[in-house]
Chain A
């Protein structure tokens, strides 16, 4: 009886929080769209050019101008666009001549796959490094981890990418070059999910899998390294915090083995805020892949956005920004909620 009312009350609270969060998100999005739209209109690139090309006559030009709705007032253009978005229609890209939703569905898996592999690498290396540094606080290892992290913060990713390509691809021939898969393997599998590692593995196309893997490993390692810098640093500080807690001392007195104290008890509690850190890194990877995608000719969302922007293909830019913004805000919200949830549980356990 009591639990039910508590649960009910908590539910109401959750609901209220959800509503207010959604309101916030809606306002953020609207702002995002207005800003993007306005930027798009001041970019000194003529969008008609991508439609009719350089050699069109004035009449052809005018017809395209009209067809794009550019002769209407700005507010009206925005309103028309907004209405369509609510019906799930992002419009058509001037550049690719396809529906933008279709374009994004095509390019997004590439970015998603890269970011996911990167975050796996970043987490797999970053957390142990951070833990290690915390345990050996002030010692050489701590310094090394710190420097490794700072190097990650300091290196221009596009340059690291070029150097990595030069070394591992051009000179040592250890990995495959730019792009997602060699053309000779492209027909060995059907891109059902668009995540090539998953597709090839599910269809048992192992040579293709290896090829896809040898393509993704370098860009993912680089991006992973960048997120590693952040993750290891945060892990270190969370771990230091936990290791100073009373329950650790208690455990030590009780004679719990040191590795268990560090890797199980302390890390479990540090894991709560770490989830947020990892989620944020993930969001950053998704949005921050523009330069990496350029260097590695990775046909992802970053490249799509840059390309659309340079061609003043504003509907495509708006659609892409909306998706990235949505992911960003979504992951933020998700990590918030997860944090609340996990935090409550760990507190109960203590």
Chain B
């Protein structure tokens, strides 16, 4: 164990792999000292575990309840620790299964929006000129849109459903990444090694893909992580407006909307999923914040 540790922390790495892993390990050590960030990491970890093991962890069927016997039971009822909703379904089980939806939304938006942002940004930055003007103007137009309204409009156009919510959020999420990637590209575009690669006859696509994108990657990833909480909140907002998930899916935002009408007498129906959203999005924020601290080269320490 200590051998590995020494190997990782060696200041004379013998291979590129060792250097890279060592770098990652040092970042991790750095990250570990940040209590808040670790807390965030823990939350996200729990979320992932819940999502993976949902069928084993959930005490009840998340979709089926009994209107005649288990409707609107308060929290701490035996067997229904977080209470039940107006369809007689166990809220805890719904929250556990809902973690899958939340995680899927975050992951898919990241997977869709990041490449789009990277592609647009690096292309604009690398070529400059009218390509830059056109692409960035388009980015600005999307940015100038009221975000939630745009997402709403897209969901309305595509039809409700979690897939379409994901697409809609992705459509509104990429522009900041494009701007960031462009800014990064501009700083490295004229560097010597790019010029050298060009001289070797590499195609523009290859230069962008092989050399520029990897360099932009880390800052974009930090930004995406920071945005994840926002993505969760937007998805929940769409769900709340009845445009995110289809009933009876246990999407947390939709669950709040469902509990809204019972707020006064049966407060738990809307409160529990809200707490879940809040916790998870706080987790992502703490994690992203910590990541920025350790990855940001400009940080003062």
User: Which A residues lie at the B interface, using CB under 8 A?
Assistant: 24, 27-28, 31-32, 35-36, 39-40, 42-45, 143, 146-147, 150-151, 153-160, 162-163, 165-166, 170, 240, 287-288, 290-291, 294, 302, 305-306, 309-310, 317, 321, 324-325, 328-329
Contacts and interface: CB of A to CB of B under 8 A. Distances in A.
A116 B236 CA distance: 26
B141 A28 contact: yes
B141 A43 contact: no
Main secondary structure of the interface of A (DSSP, over half): helix
Given A31-B141, A151-B282, A155-B278, A309 B152 contact: yes
A280 B271 CA distance: 31
A196 to B, nearest CB: 24
A48 to B, nearest CB: 17
A277 to B, nearest CB: 16
A321 B149 contact: yes
B253 interface: yes
Given A28-B144, A287-B146, A324-B149, 16 more contacts: A31-B137, A150-B289, A154-B278, A156-B277, A156-B278, A162-B260, A163-B271, A166-B263, A288-B146, A288-B147, A291-B237, A291-B241, A294-B240, A294-B241, A321-B149, A328-B146
Contacts of B141: 27-28, 31-32, 35
Contact of A163 (B36, B274, B284, B300): B274
Contacts of A158: 236-237, 240, 256
Given A162-B256, A287-B149, A170 B263 contact: yes
Interface in B156-171: 156-157, 159
Contacts of A44: 156-157, 159
Contacts of B149: 287, 290, 302, 305-306, 309, 321, 324
Nearest to A325: B144
Interface string B215-237: 00000000000000110010011
Given A156-B278, A294-B241, A305-B149, A45 B156 contact: yes
Contacts of A153: 229-230, 281, 285
B199 interface: no
A240 B299 CA distance: 12
Contact of A43 (B153, B256, B267): B153
B270 interface: yes
Contacts of B53: none
Contacts of B278: 154-156, 159
Contact of B148 (A36, A154, A290, A310): A290
B253 A154 contact: no
Interface in B233-259: 233, 236-237, 240-241, 253, 256
A50 B158 CA distance: 20
B28 interface: no
B154 interface: yes
A30 B147 CA distance: 18
A310 to B, nearest CB: 7
A252 B258 CA distance: 59
Contacts of B159: 44
Closest 8 CB pairs of A and B: A159-B274, A31-B141, A154-B282, A287-B146, A154-B281, A39-B153, A42-B157, A150-B285
Interface of B is mostly: helix
Most buried by A among B138, B149, B271, B300: B149
A151 B153 CA distance: 29
A278 to B, nearest CB: 19
B286 interface: yes
A135 to B, nearest CB: 16
B146 A321 contact: yes
Contacts of A310: 156
Given A39-B153, A42-B157, A43-B157, A156 B289 contact: no
A102 B153 CA distance: 23
Nearest to B270: A162
B148 A288 contact: yes
Contact of B152 (A31, A146, A155, A306): A306
A224 B142 CA distance: 25
Contacts of B140: 24, 28
A45 B237 CA distance: 21
B247 to A, nearest CB: 18
Contacts of B274: 156, 159-160, 162-163
B144 A328 contact: yes
Given A147-B36, A154-B229, A165 B263 contact: yes
Contact of A309 (B153, B233, B270): B153
Nearest to A301: B146
Contacts of B264: 166, 170
B25 interface: no
Contacts of B193: none
Given A154-B282, A158-B237, A159-B278, A28 B137 contact: yes
B127 interface: no
A42 to B, nearest CB: 5
A202 to B, nearest CB: 31
